[in-house]
Each structure stands twice: as C-alpha cells, then as structure tokens.
Amino acid sequence: MRYPITLTPSDGKLVVAVDDVPGVNTFGDDEEDALLQAADALETMLDHYFENKLPVPLPSKVRRGRPSINIPVSLAAKVLLHNELLTQQVRPSELARRLNLPRQEMTRLLDPHIVTKIDSIDEAMKALGKNIELQVA
C-alpha cells in the first residue's frame, strides 16, 4: 500500500504531506529524512484512526514520477480489515467468536503495532466474507 506524498522545500528543509491522509505533515533535512519522517507520521496517524474507530483513508494511485511512502504489508492488511469491520459494523468480539479466538488473540490481530501473519488476517477477512488479493506493482 503506497501513499502519494508532496515534498515542498522550505527554509532549507523539505516539508512533506501525505496527500490522502489529512493532518499528516512533517519535515526532513533531505529527501531521505523527509520520507522516514513521513512514514513515522503516517503510522502515528493510523493509530488515531484505529483507536477512534474511524475509517482509514486509502491511498490514491501514485502517479508516475511522484514520491510515495509504503506501509508494511501486515499493516496494510490490518488497515483493510479495520475498514471492513467498520463498514460491516462488526465488533471485534463478534469477529473473535466467528474465528473461535480468545479476546487477547483478537486484540493482537487488530493491533497495528503487532506484526501479524498475513494468513491470520486473511482468515479474519474470510470470516467477513472478503478475500485479500495481492499484486506486485
């Protein structure tokens, strides 16, 4: 999952904004630092969406030549699972029941800070009637 970003020079620094996620703005000393700071700021903002049970904005298509930041595959899958739970209005306790998982394991499955096997997230999506499809870009 790649989010397009905008880099703007300002006072010897690079200001970076994640185009599709309002409020994700930061800066770096150079492009490499700005990309690292943007990835960190995006993951922090994703925490906000998860904690407040808000749908996470999905990235728009990255146009050729535009800078972007990737989020880890496990986190991307959790974003999709989180959004699907909200769309279907399924509580985590109900998903745990469908998967026959203890509450603690469900909490780990939904925690964006814990790397989870993609197969586990796929099973959760199947319990919601959905499938994860991967592609190489």
What's the whole-model pTM score? 0.91
The pLDDT of residue 105 is above 90: yes
CB 7 within 8 Å of CB 16: yes
Looking at the fold, whether 17 and 63 belong to one and the same domain comes out as: yes
Looking at the fold, whether 10 and 62 belong to one and the same domain comes out as: yes
Domain CATH code at residue 46: 3.30.160.250
Domain of 36 in residue numbering reads as 2-70
Nearest to 46 by CA among 110, 132, 116, 133: 110
Please report the pLDDT score of residue 134 as a whole number: 85
Looking at the fold, whether 48 and 101 belong to one and the same domain comes out as: no
Domain termination site, one of 55, 70, 85: 70
The pLDDT of residue 79 is above 90: yes
- DSSP category for residue 59: P
Looking at the fold, whether 34 and 78 belong to one and the same domain comes out as: no
